[in-house]
Amino acid sequence: MRLCLTVDKIGNGWAPKTLEAWRFVQQVLADMTQTVIDDALDERELLEGLRVIAKATGLCTELAVEADGERPRLFDMCSDTRMIGGPNPDGRYLLAMIRGDRTYRVTGTRGSTAYLGFQVLAGTGLTPRRMAGYVSDTDLNLSSGAFALVLSAAEPAAHILGAAHWIPIPADASSIVVREYIGDADTEDPATMDIECVDAEPLQPITDAEAAEQFTAMAWTIVKLATLHRTVKPELLTQPNALLTEAAELGGADTTPDNLYMIGTFALEPDESLVLEFSPPDTRYWSITLESIWHECLEPRHRHSSVTNKGCRPDVDGIARIASAPRTSGTATGWTPAVGTAASSCCAGSTTPSRPPCAPRSVAARWRRDSRALSTGPVRQAGRQR
């Protein structure tokens, strides 16, 4: 006689929503890993892409899992070693997670930087984020350089609002993003600010539904940050050496009405350099930044990979010339070393004192083989090839 013993494993049924959301995070990491493997053209791009996934996971943990809409804090999404998502190295990107059913007060001092803007984003879970509110530094009610903002669904009572600027927020409000652009860090004073929830409930243990929502938001943002090369002008990967204008879309989450972006890709041979020639826009601030294909600013604190209007002096003809090269050029009015990859991207942005922004009058990308002289030959149109 043969006997068969069958054992059924019975789970405890704890946190079913959170476990499902965590498995989703694990699947996202596996999918993003495969995306990098599929899209990288060489070992360096593969290494950089995998590091971007790791850095995105750390950032998303901070902004989703560690965040608390009842007890928000403004933290810098970038650091000296983590500049992903196509940021401006000559700026700050502060973020605080909020809720649409709470009231928040932001207080601070304006400082003297070139630009300061406050953007409210809405959307939760897998819903794409959208801009639900915006305040420029020109809209702030300053008192001896100090300002106050109140964010809430309904206009607060006079004793709560005081002299603060009221920003209405929708029921699905999810975060406030602060952009600050710095033309010259040696002469400009950064803004200072803090945020508090004025009607927070007492601290409570986290629930299954709340943890699941945090992990879902974490996964969604990892996907967004790890696939920018596929979602932000992906056609440029096969159409290099040209800059396209990316204006602020109504309701878009990635920029504001005060900002205008131009973006393009380039591919360099070992003995080539990139030169940008343009008439500087008549704005209070502009900058140019080099990024990897994964939209990461590589080692900006250790190499000169960006330049602002304060760091570039146009020639006598009014034309600014910025070179990306392995070594210093004597002909360019601004210089950024090549980031070391055969293919990369360049992003130019400008900030205007009034909306809508004005595009630079002309931008031209030219190639040269000798770093001592500009090339006048035609732009080579060679896309990414496997």
Q: What is the pLDDT of residues 286-300, one digit of tens each?
A: 998 888 999 998 777
The pLDDT of residue 242 is 76
CA 286 to chain centre: 16
The answer on 158 and 116 residing in a single domain is yes
The answer on 143 and 66 residing in a single domain is yes
The answer on 120 and 179 residing in a single domain is yes
Q: Does a structural domain hold residue 375?
A: no
- Assign 380 a pLDDT band (cuts: 50, 70, 90): very low
Stronger pLDDT, 204 or 329, i.e. the higher one: 204
For 78-87, 109-118, 184-193, which range has the lowest pLDDT when averaged over its residues? Answer: 78-87
**Sign of the alpha-carbon dihedral angle for 16, 19, 21, 24:** negative
The pLDDT of residue 8 is 52
Q: Does a structural domain hold residue 113?
A: yes
The answer on 206 and 191 residing in a single domain is yes
Count the helix, strand and coil residues of the chain and give each as a percent rounded to the nearest 5. Answer: 20, 30, 50
Q: Which one, of 95, 220, 198, lies nearest residue 151 by Cα? A: 198
Question: What domain range includes position 82?
Answer: 16-229
Domain holding 222: CATH number? 2.60.120
Q: Does a structural domain hold residue 24?
A: yes
Q: Does a structural domain hold residue 9?
A: no
Residue 314, token pair as written in the block: 């146009």
pTM, to two decimals: 0.83
Helix (H, G, I), strand (E, B) or coil at 273: strand
Quote the CA–CA distance of 114 and 367 in Å, as a whole number: 32
CB 293 within 8 A of CB 234: no
Maximum average pLDDT range among 177-186, 245-254, 296-305:
177-186
CB 51 within 8 A of CB 251: no
CA geometry: angle 360, 79, 354, nearest 5 deg: 30
The answer on 166 and 262 residing in a single domain is no
Q: Does a structural domain hold residue 380?
A: no
Residues 6+ apart with CB under 8 A from 268: 274, 324, 338, 342, 343, 344
Cα distances (Å, whole numbers) of residue 363 to 34, 103, 135, 244, 250: 36, 45, 30, 10, 25
- Assign 234 a pLDDT band (cuts: 50, 70, 90): confident
The pLDDT of residue 181 is 95
Through-space distance between the first and last CA atoms of the chain, rounded to whole angstroms: 63
- Assign 90 a pLDDT band (cuts: 50, 70, 90): very high
Residue with tokens 């300053």: 142
Cα distances (Å, whole numbers) of residue 157 to 49, 142, 154, 282, 352: 49, 21, 9, 41, 34
The pLDDT of residue 375 is 32
Residue that is last in its domain, among 204, 229, 254: 229
Residue 383, token pair as written in the block: 């896309």
Please say if the pLDDT value at position 384 is more than 60.
Answer: no
Query: pLDDT averaged over the chain?
Result: 82
Count the Cβ atoms, other than its own, within 10 Å of residue 311.
Answer: 17
Residue that is last in its domain, among 195, 229, 263: 229
pLDDT over 90 for what percent of the chain?
Answer: 53
Cα distances (Å, whole numbers) of residue 225 to 151, 296, 350, 373: 27, 10, 22, 38
Into how many domains does the chain fold?
Answer: 2
Q: Does a structural domain hold residue 360?
A: yes
For 248-264, what is the mean pLDDT? 71
Residue that is last in its domain, among 229, 256, 272: 229
Stronger pLDDT, 242 or 2, i.e. the higher one: 242
The pLDDT of residue 247 is 56
The pLDDT of residue 246 is 65
CA geometry: angle 278, 359, 225, nearest 5 deg: 100
For 40-44, 61-65, 106-110, 377-381, which range has the lowest pLDDT when averaged over its residues? Answer: 377-381
In angstroms, what is the C-alpha Rg of the chain? 24
Cα distances (Å, whole numbers) of residue 70 to 96, 197, 255: 11, 6, 26
Residue 296 one-letter amino acid: E
Under DSSP, the state recorded for 145 is T
Quote the CA–CA distance of 283 and 189 in Å, as a whole number: 20
The pLDDT of residue 281 is 84
Please say if the pLDDT value at position 135 is more than 50.
Answer: yes
Under DSSP, the state recorded for 249 is P
The pLDDT of residue 362 is 34
pLDDT digits (tens, 9 = 90+) for 25-52: 999 999 999 999 999 999 999 999 999 9
Q: Does a structural domain hold residue 57?
A: yes
Stronger pLDDT, 288 or 169, i.e. the higher one: 169
> Which strand (E) or helix (H) includes residue 267?
strand 259-267
The two beta strands, 165-168 and 146-152, are parallel
CB 49 within 8 A of CB 63: no
β strands within 81-203, DSSP E: 91-97, 104-109, 115-122, 130-136, 146-152, 165-168, 173-181, 192-197
Q: What number of residues does the chain have?
A: 386
**Sign of the alpha-carbon dihedral angle for 374, 325, 226, 121:** negative
The answer on 140 and 261 residing in a single domain is no
The answer on 264 and 245 residing in a single domain is yes
The answer on 132 and 20 residing in a single domain is yes
The pLDDT of residue 360 is 36
80 class by beta-carbon count within 10 Å (0-12 exposed, 13-18 middle, 19+ buried): exposed
For 367-376, what is the mean pLDDT? 34
